[in-house]
Structure formats: structure tokens, C-alpha cells
Amino acid sequence: MYPNIIVVQIDGRDFGSFSEKHGFEKPNDDKALNLMNACAIKVLENFSDVIFAYGFTDEYSFVLKKEITFYQRRARFVTYFISQEFDISVYQ
């Protein structure tokens, strides 16, 4: 990883059960993909330091610009708030 950027990766914990509960088809259900994309867009809209988002299978990665001052670049807080925003967006 480059020394001046932060990448936050969110992994879908127990995504199989979530998919089954909501009737998502395997391997890639359009509803599930659209939901994850909408959640990522909310993160991009609400965190101006996030400059790029990328989804793959049940994971999403967010790249933050190197000038970030959000919580003094402390990984625990940055990861927590980005993952919370993503999670909350599922239910909005």
C-alpha cells in the first residue's frame, strides 16, 4: 500500500445468510449489487475524503485521499465510521 493513502475494506460478514433472507439469487443478484452500490454512494456522498470506491463479490474498498484529517487518520475510527455509514445505508 502507498504510504500516503488509506484504504478501508469492508467485507460482507455472513453475506450468504443475508442473501438467503432477502431472496437474492446466486452468484450475482442485481438487487444485491444495486443495494451495495447504493451504500457505497452514500459513503462517497457523506465522506468527502473518500475519493474512490470499488466493489468485488461481497467486499467494498474505499480509498481516502492522502490529505485526510478525519480522526487524525486513526485507522480504528476511520474504519468504524465508514463501515457504519455503509451498514446504515442498507436500511435506509
Q: pTM for this structure?
A: 0.81
* Cα gap 20→81, rounded to integer Å: 27
| pLDDT of 28 higher than 70 | yes
pLDDT score recorded for residue 67: 81
Region of 71 please: left (phi>0), alpha (psi -120 to 50) or beta: left
Our CA angle for 70, 74, 77, nearest 5°, is 75
Our CA angle for 36, 38, 41, nearest 5°, is 110
For 7, 25, 26, 27, the CA distances from 17, given in Å and listed in that order, are: 27, 12, 12, 13
How confident is the prediction for the chain on average, in pLDDT?
A: 84
Residue 67 or residue 51, greater confidence: 51
Residue 74 or residue 59, greater confidence: 59
